[in-house]
Amino acid sequence: MSTTSVLNGIPIEVAAGPPTYPTTGNDLPILHEIGHALRRLASQNESTVIDLQAIPMAPGEEQRILRLLGQGEVKATLDALGQSDVIETNYPGVWTVEHRNTHGETVGKYIEITHCPDILCSQEADIKASVERIGETLSELELKSSGGSA
């Protein structure tokens, strides 16, 4: 239903209902790709990353995808050179990952189809450094317990 009004003799038609925006149509193919990637993860243990910032989308399309995926049980927030949020969706194995810089600006936005996003996994170099640190801590504790000084 529309209404017509006259402004300085110029007829203006106003459409009833919410405004409509042009669409790229990329939201449905992205959801299909997530489904294909989830099947690959389940059958071949193959992870997939979809870079949402690299795909042209019209206003509202990204929000529609995220709304349809929903939020699952796991959410992690990391603080390393800016905040990163890792959120499991309603579909286990499908995660949303958003990285922001120290000014809070989004610098990366991804959908990861994987058992656990890489950013949550310890890195090899960090694990090796951890081996040395735990050794030092144990040496200090053993020295203290034997009556020596640390």
The CATH topology of domain 26-116 is Ribosomal Protein S8; Chain: A, domain 1 (3.30.1370)
Q: Is the pLDDT of residue 19 over 60?
A: no
Worst-scoring range by mean pLDDT, 15-19, 37-41, 52-56, 89-93? 15-19
Residue 29 has pLDDT above 60, yes or no: yes
Please say if the pLDDT value at position 12 is more than 80. Answer: no
What distance in Å separates the CA atoms of residue 147 and residue 62, rounded to the nearest whole number? 62
Helices (H) and strands (E) in the chain, counts: 3, 7
Biggest CA–CA distance in the chain, Å, is 98
CA dist 127 and 137 (Å) reads 15
Q: Per residue in 104-142, pLDDT tens?
A: 999 999 999 999 999 999 889 999 999 999 999 999 999
Q: How far apart are CA 122 and CA 134, in angstroms?
A: 15
* Residue 142 phi, psi dihedral angles, 5° rounding: -65, -40
